Structure formats: C-alpha cells, structure tokens
Amino acid sequence: MNAPSTSAPSWKFEPLDPRSAAMIDPDGSQVRYGSSVFAPFFHEDDLAAPGVDRVRVRVRWLGTAGFALEFQGTTVLFDPYVTRASLLRCITSRLVPDAAAIAAHTPRADAIVVGHTHFDHALDVPAIAALTGAQVYGSRSAVTLCRASGLPEARLHDVEGSPGSDPVVAEVGPFELRFHPSAHSRLALGRVPFPGEIADCDHVPLRAEGYRCGAVFAVEIRVAGRTILHLGSAELIDATLGVREPDLLLLCAAGWTSSRDLPERVARAITPRAVLLSHWDDFFRSIDKPARPLPAMKLHHLVERLGRANRDAKVGIVPLLGGVWV
C-alpha cells in the first residue's frame, strides 16, 4: 500500500494554477500543478465508518475506471484494465492483454463487471476471467467479446435487460449488484467515441476501434450495509438513476468537461457522501509507474466544482493501486 503518510485531512487542498502541467510528486502524496499544490488524496481510513472494524469493504483503484472491491474473501472487479497499452500500440496494432500485469495486479476475482466495452474498460476482462475463473457481468457486447475469447457460456451474464424493465440485479457472495442503464460522455468532438456494439468478434484480438462502446451501466453495489456507485463514464441519466446518497461514488473524470454541468448534476441527482475520482490518469503509461494526471482532465476544476456543489461530500483520489476502506 503506497498511501501517503501525512495526517492532515486529505480532501482539503490549495487553489491551483490551471495553466501549469499536472504532476504527482515522486512520493505519490500529492498532485502538483506547477508551483501550486493540491492534495486531495484520501488516506485509507478517511472514508471508513467509525466503530465498525472488521466489517469494512476494501476499495482499491486499478487505474482508469478500474476498481477491486473486496469483502470477506469475495473480490469483484470493475472495468479492470492493467495492460495500459502505449498510444503507439493503440494506434498501430491489435491489442493484446499483458499477461504479466494481469497476473501481478488482478490475481483473483470472483466476478468482473464491465461498465461498457471500450478497450480501456474491456480489453483485459476475458484474460482476467480465464485466469481467475470469474463470472462476467456486462452488456451484450461484453458477452460477445468474452464468448469470442473462449470463455464458457455459463460464466457470461448479459445484464442489459429489456427496455423499460427494472434494472437487472445479480448477487456475488455478499455483494448485490444492480445494473442501471447509463450513458457515455460525448468526449470526442461532441460524440461518443467508437459507438455501437461489438457484434462480430471473429477477429479477436481487436484493434482499439473494434472495442465498440455497447450498452453503458451505472452499477449500484450494496455490501455490508454500504452503498457504492460505479460510474465508468463521466455521464449519467439523472431522471432514472434512482441511487441517492451512496456512501461512495466511484466517478470517472475522463470526458467530464463534455458533459454539461456534470458536477452539479451529480450533486443533485446522487448527493454522494464521498467521491473517489477515477480515469484521470494517463492510461498509456505502465501500471508499474506512478499515475500521471492528464492535464486535459482538469482534475482540479472537477474537485472544486464537486466540492462546491456538494459541500458535505469528501472528494479525492488515491494513488495508483492504492485504496480506501469503506
């Protein structure tokens, strides 16, 4: 665990100079923009409910929108992507999972949830499922992808449901998962990148553009009396989401500036008690190096606006492969 060791409340931060580039200090304790510093890093106990030792849920960030949630021996992964192929490889080659990174960083999983099927959410899923024996929950595109990769049908779960029906619910050990229809940020010149479905997987491995978005889910997780919400893209369907005051929102930062008033809508529609930001990192960089914020994410603005819109919520990040107890 490489969480910072300072004791100051980590969600308090200083103003930033948005003109300067964002860097994380070598010790991983704070994000620095030029000469300005802000340190919205959660310490691992910052979000833990008081007086409930031994029944805490472990939330570990795997980079991008990837998380591992662990409770009493059961592990559920969300959008795990540890291969982090270089930009050159993404442009020029078919994408192949990094078996060594997968073995090192996602050695066990009882279930894998795929929020949508862009490559930075879905590329590693079949390989992790093959390694761990995990069940896979996702869209028809996710099922198609996993089927083409040779996973047995019995472990593949299409959770799209029929239009207008209640969200599909699944149980994985102590976890209850509810798959709310959601939306993807229109981050590519006002459009969803690589839209449509993965309908034909005869040519696995695919190139990056073959990983079509498919259906998008906001995943409500109930475990040990806590509610956690995973938003793997920086967009939501406010009117129908129906998840209020979760203990923790796992919120994707990538593309948030393309989603009108996202921080304020999150505050109104969800009112989370805490927000752990994801997908702000340069995911063309190896998982074995510290996370580097992409300046285009404007992380400091997102933190400020979420904090202003939702004053009671703690808003922060964790180091790559770091985590919090909830």
Helix axes 299-309, 262-269, angle to 10 degrees: 40
**Side-chain half-sphere exposure of 24, counting CA atoms within 13 A:** 22
Q: Is the Cβ of residue 29 or residue 117 nearer to Zn ion in the bound state?
A: 117
Q: Whole-number minimum distance, CB 175 to Zn ion, in Å?
A: 23
Q: Is the Cβ of residue 56 or residue 118 nearer to Zn ion in the bound state?
A: 118
Sign of CA dihedral 153, 159, 160, 166: positive
Contact criterion met (CB below 8 Å) for 117 and 93: no
Q: Is the Cβ of residue 127 or residue 192 nearer to Zn ion in the bound state?
A: 192
Burial label for 282, CB within 10 Å (0-12, 13-18, 19+), is middle
Q: Is the Cβ of residue 70 or residue 160 nearer to Zn ion in the bound state?
A: 160
Q: Whole-number minimum distance, CB 198 to Zn ion, in Å?
A: 13
> How many residues sit close enough to Zn ion to count as binding (CB under 5 A)?
1
Across 156-206, the runs of DSSP E, i.e. the strands, are 156-158, 168-172, 175-181
Report the 10 Å Cβ neighbour count for 2: 13
Site string for Zn ion, 77-116 (x = CB under 5 A): ----------------------------------------
Which amino acid does the sequence have at 264?
Answer: E
Q: What residues between 59 and 78 interact with Zn ion by CB under 5 A? A: none
Q: Is the Cβ of residue 118 or residue 314 nearer to Zn ion in the bound state?
A: 118
Q: Is 186 in the site for Zn ion (CB under 5 A)?
A: no
Q: What are φ and ψ of residue 48, in 5° steps?
A: -75, 135
Q: What residues between 8 and 27 interact with Zn ion by CB under 5 A? A: none
CA–CA distance from 9 to each of 6, 14, 41, 273 (Å)?
Answer: 9, 12, 9, 16
Q: Is the Cβ of residue 33 or residue 179 nearer to Zn ion in the bound state?
A: 179
Site string for Zn ion, 116-145 (x = CB under 5 A): --x---------------------------
List residues near Zn ion by CB under 5 A: 118
